[in-house]
Amino acid sequence: MLNNLANKKILLGSKSPRRQELLRGLGISFEVVSIDCDETYPSELKKEAITNFISEAKAKAYPNLQKNEVLITADTLVGLDGLILGKPQDEQAAFDMLQSLAGKAHQVYTSVSLRTTEKLVTFSDRTDVFFDEMSEEEINFYVKNFHPMDKAGAYGIQDWLGYTKVTKIDGCYYNVMGLPLQKLYRTLQKL
């Protein structure tokens, strides 16, 4: 379906198993590449400006891009009442994040950058996620059993917490997993 990329090699600059699974779902062959990048951002940035900045920084940090390659990088964060929730540093931070999300709506922002030797294109998406209340016992169960440390906001919508506590979403489900697929597909078609 992406005939314009038939002679291009797709590189995914992400170790996220969820992003890899989602990209495979588009029927795209790709190679995972490692990118070492400082993910700090200027404090004045807000919402998707943060994810845009980090996604582009990752794309620019890959040093060996060749003429026939397209590099895909991405960054996701959770916003709640003006606060930014990234990946928790430990189990206590994961517990605190989930407790703050319980019974509320929050926003998930993902930015994706596509880089070739000629250009860099970045787009972002936002999804509103609504959570039911959660008991301390439920939060502890999730933290102990579902590895929230590698997830923005300390949860994965595709696992137990999503099954039991997400009451509705407004926007792209796959954006919450870390890759807004419809926008990615459309952007790849135009590239």
What residues are labeled active site?
Answer: 75
147: left (phi over 0), alpha (psi -120 to 50) or beta: left
Helix ranges (H only) for the chain are 17-25, 48-61, 91-101, 136-145, 160-165, 173-177, 181-190
Alpha-carbon span 19 to 73, nearest angstrom? 10
Give the integer Cα–Cα distance in Å for 128 and 171. Answer: 6
Torsion angle of alpha carbons 60, 149, 97, 41, nearest 10°? -20
Return the bridge partners of 84, or none: 79
Sign of CA dihedral 156, 157, 160, 164: positive
